[in-house]
């Protein structure tokens, strides 16, 4: 996706202004510095403090559930990387505001402001109740493993609607486990390195046409539960692997507890995480 404005071409940057939501979060912090190479101005937003603001950045502390502020946030934006919201299981009332109402506000504002593309941080937990004995592709039935996963299914459906109805393109990133290193043996399968995450976002932003696409965010791990063949047009080629961390979780004899759902399903502990009681 490129900008035909000759001033942008001369500057060798594809975008005039990119918006990054969730910029204070784990992945937002990893991505934030890379965006300077792709846009003249990077607008960073979060409900949490954003820290030091670089010369090329515009910082907004915004609750995405606030419709008026979200519409202002999207003014003048060419494309959005949406990492905002809650990324774990939580009480439904919290998920409703952050992951459902907030996402609707974002898409509504993006459409009205003429934004052309959104990169949406979905999750492998949208399909977490598929068994570990299967390999899922982008056409696998949605099988959320938690209320958090349900909100990601909503996000994928909402983004599909906005493409079909308004032509607003979205790449849904079904992110696995993106940390400095895996925290358990399950994450050896779902691991996405920070470097591969940044490359996945780059491919999703710069591919000329994406329509409505879904891609699994995982590195080139030795064991995989996902098949990205149908998203190959994005050009995402992961360079890293969890193999370097396998010594941290040495393989043992198969567990004989065949009734443990955390071992039976791809979502792992998320399949037992909710629902949770609301905060008081």
Question: What is the C-alpha to C-alpha distance for residues 240 and 150, in angstroms, rounded to an integer?
Answer: 29
Peptide bond into 152 cis (omega under 30): no
> Which helix (H) or strand (E) covers residue 94, if one does?
helix 92-95
CA 211 to mean position of chain CA atoms: 17
Question: What is the C-alpha to C-alpha distance for residues 146 and 125, in angstroms, rounded to an integer?
Answer: 7
Question: What is the C-alpha to C-alpha distance for residues 242 and 244, in angstroms, rounded to an integer?
Answer: 5
Of residues 148, 143, 138, 135, the one with CA closest to residue 171? 138
The answer to whether residues 60 and 77 touch, using CB atoms and an 8 Å cutoff, is: no
Q: At what angle do helices 102-113 and 147-166 cross, to 10 degrees?
A: 20
Catalytic residue numbers?
148
């Amino acid at each position: 996706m490129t900008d035909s404005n000759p001033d942008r071409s001369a500057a060798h940057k594809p975008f005039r202004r990119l918006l990054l939501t969730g910029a204070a979060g784990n992945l937002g912090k990893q991505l934030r510095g890379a965006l300077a190479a792709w846009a003249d101005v990077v607008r960073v937003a979060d409900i949490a403090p954003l820290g030091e603001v670089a010369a090329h950045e515009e910082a907004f502390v915004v609750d995405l559930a606030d419709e008026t502020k979200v519409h202002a946030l999207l003014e003048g934006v060419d494309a959005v990387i949406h990492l905002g919201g809650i990324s774990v299981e939580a009480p439904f009332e919290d998920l409703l505001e952050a992951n459902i109402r907030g996402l609707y506000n974002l898409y509504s504002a993006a459409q009205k402001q003429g934004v052309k593309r959104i990169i949406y941080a979905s999750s492998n937990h949208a399909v977490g109740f598929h068994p570990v004995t299967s390999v899922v592709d982008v056409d696998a039935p949605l099988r959320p493993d938690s209320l958090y996963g349900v909100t990601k299914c909503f996000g994928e459906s909402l983004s599909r609607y906005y493409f079909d109805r308004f032509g607003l393109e979205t790449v849904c990133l079904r992110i696995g486990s993106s940390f400095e290193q895996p925290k358990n043996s399950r994450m050896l399968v779902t691991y996405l390195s920070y470097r591969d995450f940044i490359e996945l976002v780059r491919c999703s932003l710069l591919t000329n046409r994406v329509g409505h696409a879904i891609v699994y965010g995982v590195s080139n791990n030795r064991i995989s539960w996902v098949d990205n063949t149908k998203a190959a047009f994005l050009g995402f080629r992961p360079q890293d692997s969890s193999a370097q961390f396998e010594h941290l979780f040495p393989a043992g004899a198969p567990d004989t507890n065949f009734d443990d759902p955390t071992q039976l399903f791809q979502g792992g502990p998320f399949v037992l995480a909710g629902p949770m009681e609301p905060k008081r």
